[in-house]
Chains A and B, each alone.
Chain A
Amino acid sequence: MNGLKEEVAEGKYILSFPHLTSTQDYAKKIISTCARDIVGVRADYQSSGRGRLKSQWDAVPNSSLLVSYIFDLSGFSKRHVKLISLVTAAAAITAISESTNLTPQYKWPNDILISNRKVCGVLIETPAFKQSLSQAIIGVGVNLTQLEFPPDIESIATSIAMEGGQAPTPQALAKTLYHKLLWWADILLWHGLDPITEMLREHDGYTGEHYRVTTDSGERPGTAVGITSEGELILRMEDGSILATQNATSQKSVHRYNIPADS
């Protein structure tokens, strides 16, 4: 494997590249090689994120942290897998707040905001290698030094620099975030979800946000009013009913998965 090895812990490395088409795709290749010492892939520039990531997020080379962690799921139950979203959000909040002088907010399920604008997005995939699931690929993008964004997202995106924070280097933030991921994953495994939901509620950036929830009868709009102890989003629907769901999408999500038409 090419790429520069950046040590993040003893014997554990993130592979760093000036340019990749997709850190997620490269991380998937690494899993197939069983290279246990590589825990992530970082790129200064990502030319074409996979279908669910939009290119404007990483339009300016070296202005963002663009990293995909290869996350060991040993010890995780099926129930825990979806909760990696919340673990990643908690890790990103603590990594950003400790690396800058800023206080991020949390927007369900794993967006991180500052001043009500998105500074960090997450994409998590669990590849189906053979018939068992042993790793997740956690893709994280953090806007660091951008001073402007394209017109179509400038009202909903921000960066550490635009918010007046001291932007860390992508390499430094990647290392900090790696350790926060491990720490919050241990919290989940040993103490359950309560400490994580409590922390995320303290950084509430979701209440009042508009979502679309996928139900058995199709998509319906609702307004967020909280999160449950299981990490689900609580929505007040247009008819006044209250719904807890794990399948909702923000109406102003930058990284929204666009549903292809049925063929």
Chain B
Amino acid sequence: MAELGVDIDEISELVRLVEDSNLDELIVEDAGVKVTIRGFGYIRRSSSARLIDEPPQEMIDINPPRHPISVTGADVAEEVLTIASPMIGVFYRAPGTDAAPFIEVGDHVEVGQTIGLMEAMKVFSEIPSDYSGTVVEIIAHNGQLVHSGDPLVLLRPDSV
């Protein structure tokens, strides 16, 4: 990150600012480096992240909404993406009591690979990754109630 000429602490501070203030989008540009941080309000209005309780006018699309924190510069581009919950429900990391978790930090995941389960009304829905990359952090705990748009997993994509 240092090669980008930006301070990770500064970016973290900007992320907190967006989250705390419920901003939809914040763009900061300085010395040829552009930082774009998008809040959940932005995502909820995007076509790929309808809320679970919205009227059923659309066909099923369970692609988890992205919560992108993108950093782009003149020569280098890097992006860390959040796989967010597409619905309210209980998150499970493994398919059963004795089974291994679907993913661990450091694992490489492919497009469509299951990263966890969501359960609501005893319907267990597999949550796929919609891009390939390396797992940076698993944010949601096993058995945790998560809401639509809540972050589940952080991924560093293979390419931007």
Contacts and interface: CB of A to CB of B under 8 A. Distances in A.
Interface in A211-263: 214-216, 231, 246-247, 257-263
Given A131-B130, A134-B60, A124 B99 contact: no
A50 interface: yes
Nearest to B128: A128
A131 B97 contact: no
Interface string A65-89: 0000000010111111111111000
Contacts of B119: 247, 257
Residue of B59, B89, B130 with highest tally of chain A CB at under 10 A: B59
A80 B88 CA distance: 13
B90 A214 contact: yes
Contact of A133 (B121, B124, B125): B125
Interface string B86-102: 11111011111111010
Interface residues of A, number: 45
Interface string A170-203: 0000000000000000000000000000000000
B142 A260 contact: yes
A145 interface: no
Contacts of A127: 126
Contacts of B145: 214-216, 247
Contacts, number: 141
A52 interface: yes
B56 A109 contact: no
Interface in B51-69: 52-63
A125 to B, nearest CB: 5
B57 to A, nearest CB: 7
A79 B52 CA distance: 6
A109 B122 contact: yes
Contact of B121 (A75, A76, A85): A85
Contact of A81 (B97, B123, B142): B123
Contact of A247 (B52, B53, B120): B120
* Residue from B56, B94, B101, B126 with most neighbouring chain A CB atoms (10 Å): B56
A80 B99 CA distance: 29
A85 B127 CA distance: 18
Interface string A21-56: 000000000000000000000000000001110000
B50 to A, nearest CB: 7
Contacts of B58: 77-78
A183 B52 CA distance: 24
B60 A246 contact: no
Dominant secondary structure at the A interface? loop
Contact of B125 (A77, A79, A126, A260): A126
A110 B52 contact: no
Given A78-B62, A124-B123, A263 B101 contact: yes
Contact of A131 (B93, B99, B124, B128): B128
B119 to A, nearest CB: 7
Nearest to A137: B124
A136 interface: yes
B122 A259 contact: no
B62 A133 contact: yes
A122 B122 contact: yes
Contact of A52 (B53, B55, B124, B126): B124
A85 B145 CA distance: 19
Interface of A: 50-52, 73, 75-86, 109-110, 122-134, 136, 214-216, 231, 246-247, 257-263
11 contacts: A50-B96, A79-B56, A124-B123, A125-B124, A127-B126, A133-B61, A214-B145, A215-B145, A247-B119, A247-B120, A247-B145
Given A51-B99, A262-B142, 7 more contacts: A78-B87, A79-B54, A85-B122, A125-B125, A126-B62, A133-B125, A247-B89
Interface of B: 50, 52-63, 86-90, 92-99, 101, 104, 111-112, 114, 119-128, 130, 141-143, 145
